[in-house]
A and B are shown apart, each in its own frame.
Chain A
Amino acid sequence: MRNPLGDLNVGVVLAAVGIVLFLVTLSIAWSSWNRWTGIASITTARARLLDGNDAVVKTRSTQAARELPKEAAAVLLDIDLTSPADFTRLEALERTAASRDVPLVRTAEALSLAIRGKEPEKVGGSDGTLIAALVDLNKGSPPHAITLDKESPPHHSVMVIVYAKQLQAALLSGDRALIKDASGVLALLMPAHPEGSALAFINAILDPAMTTELVSQAASRTPDALRQRVARLMAPIVQERSSDLMAISLGIPSHTPADQLLTAQVAAAVAQDGPIDRIALVRRCLDGGRYDLAKSLLPKMPPERQAELRNIIMNQEGNLAELIKAGATDPALKPRLSTLRCRPGFVAFHISNDLGMIPKTGIEASINAQVVLKTAIQQNGSLFTIIVPPAQVGQATLEVRVGDTVLATKQVSL
């Protein structure tokens, strides 16, 4: 005997199973679709990272993170490590991510905290070493060499962030070995970066095997503003190349003959404004005996240093007359007259200051108010001798002047 109600029940059950299966299929299809588009977005974002198309990377990584919110690969692409809000997302991701991805998420958390100047939890391996170095640098500690473990290589992003900070700190400290280490790593890590040419320039400066021509070539591949900044920073650190670097920072053509380089540099330093190390340039002018060039730089010096530098230039020049006129207050610069040595028809004395500088522009003398002829005054280093005319032999008043300034007025027996 057929039971129509039983058939109906079977039909209802089958329909229910069918609906459930349909819903399950729909759900699987929907999640598959999301996963597929999410992975496509990750792939596109990663591919666009290669050519530095940041706008597309941002759009596609945000899309991937929205579609795959539990996937570390998707969310990490979309995370801004400097943002506290994104740190909350990282904490959520740590709870939901696959166990194999959890160490990576923890590394990202530690890096985010370190970047924001907070104390992160300890992370193992080379990533941990780098993050610890970043924490130290953010605390203002001096940079130190970073030794990484080959068995647990670090992640690319961690290296870029930490070595960039390390390079900044090393440049400020002037430690050549650390600058070489950090700029070398960054140059190998991202040579195609917009500032990669500046890293190549720094490495060329630091490599003693690189000729001046090769350094100039590296400089020419660096954008103007960056090139001048690097040259200014590196000139005091790499003394042996300071002249070339000064020329580069001032935009002097590399083909300028060596004997015209200093003149060209001074002309450029006078013509340009901005932070140029003119003190070093003055020093080189003085070393080269080019007092005229050194003087032309004075108006461009900071006002509080002009008087001091003017005195130094005049002292080096031996222009005691101008030095005294300028009112030098440094007692070490003031010229002193030694004891007079007199004999009939002849007087001799030394003039120098405490620094051992002697007047190179000559002196003036008068005996009994009569000016001694220039030809009667002879100079041999700091020793001055005056041949006294026969008419003035005997007791007399000798006055020695440097310019308008009287150095000494003494009664002598000639």
Chain B
Amino acid sequence: MDVLKQLLTYAFLLALVWAGITYLPRLSRVQLSVDYSEINVPGVEEYKSYSLDRAATIPMLRHGDAVCYRIAKGDDAMANGFGYVAGVPGDLVQITKGKVVVNGEVNRFSGDTLLAEVGPLIIPENHVYVVTTHHNTDSVARGPLPAAALRGRVGDFP
């Protein structure tokens, strides 16, 4: 009887470990829903969840990294936005002929804009320039995002 109890205890502990390994990473995932219209990239599925690296800070971000950021919706509500890192601190960003140009090169993740020719702007310390296809909530619409606005790096984005 004691042996059975011991086996059950071990089985329970093993199940806990397995559940931890299986489900804990899933807690750190984000789902593309509200602001899906911002992203127009083949292969990105709405309602699919993507892994989120919350530990990724601005110095760890590179051009082209997909990130999830907070969007203020008013009344203290926050939504998730998704975009690609176009500029990190020290980069020169400008808008030329409706294109987002970073360090002299047209950014391939950004959609066109009707804005006048402006810049260059040097991306400030502890900020990141995030672009999307439609510019409703990204840095073209809201300016460089501070670290506080970043939720993390999205791992398996196309």
Contact = CB atoms under 8 A, between A and B. Distances in A.
A50 B116 CA distance: 25
A265 interface: no
B149 A156 contact: no
Interface in A172-220: 180, 183-185, 187-192, 200, 203-204, 206-207, 209-210, 214, 218
B122 interface: yes
B51 to A, nearest CB: 23
Contacts of B94: 184, 188
A48 B75 CA distance: 10
Interface stretch (A145-153, A273-281, A350-358, A405-413): A145-153
A137 B89 CA distance: 26
Interface stretch (B4-12, B27-35, B38-46, B137-145): B137-145
Given A153-B124, A200-B116, A209-B97, A47 B148 contact: yes
Identify the interface centre among B70, B74, B89, B148: most chain A CB within 10 Å of its CB: B148
Nearest to A42: B148
A295 interface: no
Interface string B108-119: 000000111111
Interface string A11-54: 00000000000000000000000000000000100111111110
Contact of B89 (A48, A153, A200): A153
Nearest to A150: B90
A155 B97 CA distance: 28
A204 B116 contact: yes
Nearest to B77: A51
B149 A153 contact: no
Contact of B116 (A43, A192, A210): A210
Given A155-B124, A189-B143, A50 B90 contact: no
A171 interface: no
Given A188-B93, A192-B141, A203 B124 contact: no
Nearest to B123: A153
Contact of A218 (B116, B121, B127, B142): B116
Contacts of A150: 90-92, 122
Bin chain B's interface residue count: 35 or more
Interface in B68-83: 70-74, 76, 78
A166 interface: no
Nearest to A126: B122
Contacts of B91: 150
Contacts of A185: 118-119, 121
Contacts of A200: 115-116
Contact of B118 (A50, A148, A156, A184): A184
B105 interface: no
Interface residues of A, number: 39
B59 interface: no
Nearest to A53: B76
B121 A156 contact: no
Contact of A207 (B76, B116, B121, B149): B116
A191 B70 contact: no
A52 B149 CA distance: 13
B122 A153 contact: yes
B78 A192 contact: no
Nearest to A127: B125
Contact of B124 (A53, A159, A187, A204): A159
B20 interface: no
A154 interface: yes
B95 interface: yes
Contacts of B117: 184, 203, 207, 209
B146 interface: yes
B9 to A, nearest CB: 32
Given A53-B76, A184-B118, A192-B143, 14 more contacts: A47-B72, A48-B72, A56-B76, A153-B89, A153-B123, A153-B124, A156-B127, A156-B146, A190-B143, A191-B143, A203-B117, A206-B116, A207-B117, A214-B114
Interface of B: 70-74, 76, 78, 89-95, 97, 114-127, 140-144, 146, 148-149
12 contacts: A47-B72, A50-B148, A126-B122, A150-B91, A153-B89, A155-B126, A184-B118, A185-B118, A189-B143, A191-B140, A207-B116, A207-B117
